[in-house]
Amino acid sequence: MENRITELEIKIALQDDLLDTLNSIVAAQQQQLDRLQLDLRALAIHVRNMESPGPGGPGKPEDEIPPHY
């Protein structure tokens, strides 16, 4: 009987360790997702700014006059 209890205690200890490891991995992945979302938002803003020219700013490349004209 004591042998079974010891085995169960070992299994619980291993499961606790695995749970802590998985929790750390999930937390790291969430931080990475947050950083990627910020980067994606910044990139989307950058692309939008490139598409809509400001006053005196460059337009779309197809609207520009080639240098030999």
- Please state the pTM of the whole predicted model: 0.62
Q: How many domains in the chain?
A: 1
Note whether residue 2 is domain-resident: no
Beta-carbon count within 10 A of 1 CB: 5
Q: Is 45 inside any structural domain?
A: yes
30 assigned to some structural domain:
yes
Place of tokens 């079974």: 4
3 located within any domain: no
List the domain range (segments joined by +) for residue 28.
23-50
pLDDT value at residue 51? 79
Question: What confidence tens digit (pLDDT) does each residue in 18-53 have?
Answer: 999 999 999 999 999 999 999 999 999 999 998 776
Measured between alpha carbons, how far is residue 12 from residues 3, 25, 33, 61 in Å? 14, 20, 31, 64
